[in-house]
Amino acid sequence: MFCSCCIIPNDVLTRLSQDKKLSAVLRKQMVDTVQRGD
């Protein structure tokens, strides 16, 4: 089951997914979350 509610807006997740200070795994998870929400 997938919950489509999102506490963090997609634009924020997209911006954070491009932040090289965060781990590659975390950035990938953010990208995956944004794509699931579309």
What does the pLDDT look like over 10-33, one tens digit per residue? 899 999 999 999 999 999 999 998
pLDDT the model gives residue 2:
64
Give CA–CA dist 17/2, Å, rounded.
Answer: 21
The residue type at 24: A
More confident position, 30 or 2:
30
Residue 38 structural domain: 7-38
Tell whether 1 is covered by a domain: no
Query: Hunting for tokens 């954070």 — which residue is that?
Result: 16
Q: What is the pTM of this model?
A: 0.74
pLDDT the model gives residue 29:
92
Query: How many structural domains are present in the chain?
Result: 1
pLDDT the model gives residue 20:
97
pLDDT the model gives residue 36:
83
Tell whether 2 is covered by a domain: no
